[in-house]
Structure 1
């Protein structure tokens, strides 16, 4: 894949208020944010979301660490499979406990773009690159062009 993978390439249509799509893009952005080939990240996303239907923080948190490692391995995401599985479990746990299981809540409680970026980077394994990938498409839909 020579181009940047977009949400629509994964079958995700982002729309304000569509929490399911927002979480899927958040998960995809997390996978793309690592030093790994895009096609491998795409495969891992499809295995987790499409094959095993782990498409919400609750469903993802109901996986064991080993189950996630196995899913990542099936998607060829083997370079970081163990640390990624651990971070994904922490990510969904934090979403469930601090943000009512909703990525949209992060947008709602942030009072500025800087605050939003900070909240996103507080998740283990999310750095500036992941935030950039996520916000490239989620920002315009969820924040509008003149807010956050």
Structure 2
């Protein structure tokens, strides 16, 4: 690690190093409820919608009692639509309300409400794509965030995160990037790199601070 890389990563984590899960009020642990909430967040972030809207919508859903598979599955379609609207997720609210109900039912019926059973089954990318609304982007979002508690997923630094690294002049290989932070900080690094890839001003601010 060069001194320049150290300075850039330090500035990056200080300015942008908050995971999307933490922004949504999820304290990520290897327990059923936080893992389900991360899945919901990944589903919301999969649509072509601003990340801050998806995060606010996740908070609205959880606040309305839909933060676990039973609460989400038992909610009416209209209750899900209303919570999505409260979070600002109006463009896709009707379709997403249906998707989230099906997601909750699949978690309940296939994994008995506990995504750790999915983890034990292996081939996480394939299994995640079985959930309605979760495509390749949603898989990456889930795996970027969960690698802090499921270490065998790491390093998961997808193309968007690597684009952010290139923009900052950091190493562009996942293994090299992993060496720049402590293992527990890898989800923060991944989220920060994605933000830099998505926003020019974020990259400029990090480089100025470094």
Residue aligning to 1:48: 61
Task: Measure the CA separation in 1 of the matches of 2:78 and 2:144.
Answer: 32
* Structure 1 pair 46–117 and aligned structure 2 pair: CA distance change class (3 A): same
Residue aligning to 1:121: 129
Residue aligning to 1:139: 147
Q: TM-score, normalised by structure 2?
A: 0.61
The answer to whether the Cα contact below 8 Å between 1:15 and 1:142 also exists between their aligned partners in 2 is no
Alignment partner of 1:141: what SS?
coil
State the Cα distance separating 1:13 from its structure 2 match: 2.4
State the Cα distance separating 1:69 from its structure 2 match: 0.8
Provide the aligned C-alpha RMSD in A.
2.1
- Over residues 110-138 of structure 1, what are the superposed CA-to-partner deviations in whole Å (9 max), with x where a residue is unaligned? 2xxxx211111011111000000010011
Task: Measure the CA separation in 1 of the matches of 2:109 and 2:153.
Answer: 29
Task: Measure the CA separation in 2 of the matches of 1:83 and 1:53.
Answer: 20
Q: TM-score, normalised by structure 1?
A: 0.85
> Which sections of structure 2, spanning at least 5 residues, go unmatched?
1-14, 155-210
Say whether 1:68 aligns with 2:76: no
Task: Measure the CA separation in 2 of the matches of 1:88 and 1:64.
Answer: 11
Say whether 1:57 aligns with 2:69: yes
- Over residues 16-39 of structure 1, what are the superposed CA-to-partner deviations in whole Å (9 max), with x where a residue is unaligned? 3x2221111111111111100112
